């Protein structure tokens, strides 16, 4: 238990006053790769929103990175979110700014002030995703796979303990998706926890890991080893 980084106990998940998941018990340890699977509307994204405290925890108990989700104060939310890196299906890059400016914007917004450290950190994360050469590129000049790699680099900026990836390969072709998966697994191997929502079963078979399934209003574990 000492190594658990996400702990949910008897949690009910509501989305717009509608109960989507109930009796959720989930423990995820540091350095684990976990798939969240289930049909559209089964509660995968809502469960992720509970973890990064976008949805309030109304029933049950939860702790993420040492923060109690039940009674977290608004002023502490930024500190929790700095421990989390979030990757969306649609990249959500600022299209009117270069890759460097996209990353700099996030660092400045999260309190970084030292210009030298900002520049170093940007190069570090771009190196981790293999795109240092795209530092000065505009996002619309990049392929979908490159844009997603930049989005992953952005998620890594604040040295997160957990990377939450919501359908990160949803808009990508199979070959590009494989590259993104290899990148996410290498991030996990570096000691970070990766939680990935997907309904792409081909990827799950190709890159086996722990599976948590959202189905019929609750979650269950299935094995894929």
What is the distance between the alpha carbons of residues 127 and 30, in angstroms, rounded to a whole number? 23
- Tens of pLDDT along the chain (225 residues) come to 448 999 999 999 998 889 999 999 999 999 999 999 998 888 998 999 999 999 999 999 999 999 999 989 999 998 998 999 999 888 789 999 999 999 999 999 989 999 999 999 999 999 999 999 999 999 999 999 999 999 999 999 999 999 999 999 988 999 999 999 999 999 999 999 999 999 888 999 999 999 999 999 999 997 665
What does the pLDDT read at residue 2?
47
Task: Tell me the DSSP string of 35-77.
Answer: EEE--TTSSHHHHHHHHTTSS---EEEEEETTEESSS--GGGH
Contact between 165 and 172 under an 8 Å Cβ cutoff? The reply is no
Give the pLDDT score at 102.
Answer: 96
Contacts of 216 (CB under 8 A, 6+ apart): none
Strand 67-68 to 218-222 pairing: unpaired
Per-residue pLDDT at 199: 86
Amino acid 225: pLDDT: 52
| C-alpha–C-alpha distance, residues 37 and 183, integer Å | 20
């Amino acid at each position: 238990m000492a190594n658990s980084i996400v702990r949910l106990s008897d949690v009910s998940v509501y989305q717009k006053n509608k109960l989507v998941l109930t009796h959720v018990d989930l423990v995820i340890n540091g350095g684990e790769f976990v798939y969240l699977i289930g049909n559209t509307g089964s509660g995968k994204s809502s469960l992720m929103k509970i973890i990064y405290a976008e949805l309030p925890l109304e029933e049950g108990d939860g702790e993420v990175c040492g923060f109690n989700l039940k009674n977290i104060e608004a002023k502490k939310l930024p500190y929790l979110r700095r421990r989390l890196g979030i990757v969306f299906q649609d990249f959500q890059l600022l299209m009117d700014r270069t890759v460097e400016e996209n990353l700099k914007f996030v660092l400045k917004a999260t309190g970084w002030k030292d210009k030298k450290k900002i520049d170093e950190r940007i190069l570090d994360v771009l190196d981790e995703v293999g795109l240092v050469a795209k530092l000065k590129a505009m996002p619309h000049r990049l392929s979908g796979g490159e844009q997603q790699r930049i989005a992953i680099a952005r998620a890594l900026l604040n040295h997160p303990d957990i990377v939450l990836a919501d359908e990160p390969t949803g808009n990508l072709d199979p070959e590009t998706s494989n590259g993104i998966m290899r990148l996410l697994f290498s991030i996990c191997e570096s000691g970070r926890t990766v939680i990935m929502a997907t309904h792409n079963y081909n990827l799950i078979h190709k890159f086996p890991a722990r599976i948590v399934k959202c189905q019929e209003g609750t979650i269950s574990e299935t094995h894929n080893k």
